[in-house]
Amino acid sequence: MGQRHLRALRDVSSVSFSDCEPVREFPQWPGKQHYDGSLWMASTRSSIPFESLNERSCLMELDRRGDVEAVSSQPMWIKWNDARGSRHAPDYFVKLRGDHEVIVDVKDRRRAADPKVVMQFDRTAQLCAEVGWGYAVFLGNSVTRDANLRFLRRYRDPRWSSELGSFDVPRGPISLREAVESLGGSDLGFARCYVLIWNGELTADLEEPLSPRTILTARIHR
C-alpha cells in the first residue's frame, strides 16, 4: 500500500488517480455472499479488482468501449465537511482517450432508489462537476447480456487480431451463421465473428442469447 495524502478539492486535478492503489481492502466475513476477484482488461493490459458481479460487468463494458486507457479501483476517499464526517470511496476512476476522466459508481439496481444512495450519487456528481470529471452510475446488466459478455470476453485479447489474419467486416444486416461463412467458416469464421462483436465492429442485440440466428450489423464509422 502506498502513501496516503489529504488534498483540498481545488488541488486534486494534479493527482493521477488512474495510477493509485485501492484505499481500502475488500471486507471479508463468514458466510459472505458477495463475489470478488479481478478481471484482466485488454484495453489497459492490467487486472482490475472487483467486489461484486455488477462490478465485473461494469469492467467488461468498459473494456469494450475502445477509448479506455486506464482504470483504478477505489483510488480515493471523498470526505465531506458535515456533522457526520461522511465519506465515500468511488468504485472506479477511468481515464479515457483525450485526457477525459470519469468516476464510476456501481450499485445494485434494487438499492439505487434508496434516499441515502441517491444523496451520495448527487454529492459525488456535484464534486465531479466542480473538478471537471465525468460521473456515471452503473446499475448492472441483465442476466442474458452478462452471459453474452462473459462468453465474448475470451476474444478480447488483441493477439486475436494478428492470429486471425486480415479480413473484411461483413455488411449487414446478416445472420451470425451467414457472417461465419463469409469469414472463413467453421472455427476460424466463428472466432473472427466473435472478435468483431466484442470490439463493436459488428453489433448484435446482446439482450438476447447469441445464436446462429442472431442478426448482425456493421458499425458505421463517422
- Annotate 121-153 with DSSP letters as a single string: HHHHHHHHHHHT-EEEEE----HHHHHHHHHHG
pLDDT of residue 86: 84
> Among 12-21, 121-130, 160-169, which stretch is predicted with the lowest mean pLDDT?
160-169
CB 97 within 8 A of CB 143: no
> pLDDT (tens digit, 9 = 90+) per residue, 204-222?
999 999 999 999 998 866 5
Model confidence at 1, pLDDT cuts 50, 70, 90, reads low
- Whole-angstrom CA distances from 86 to 22, 41, 44, 72, 77 are 19, 32, 32, 22, 10
**For 181-209, what is the mean pLDDT?**
90
All domains of the chain in start order, with CATH? 9-138 (3.40.1350.10), 155-218 (no CATH)
> pLDDT (tens digit, 9 = 90+) per residue, 135-170?
999 999 999 999 999 999 999 887 777 667 666 788
pLDDT of residue 129: 93
d(CA 124, CA 103): 9
Model confidence at 5, pLDDT cuts 50, 70, 90, reads low
Quick one: which of 113, 90, 88 has its CA closest to 103?
A: 90
Residue 51 has pLDDT above 80, yes or no: yes
Residue 33 has pLDDT above 70, yes or no: no
> Among 33-42, 165-174, 182-191, which stretch is predicted with the lowest mean pLDDT?
165-174
> What is the chain's mean pLDDT, rounded?
87
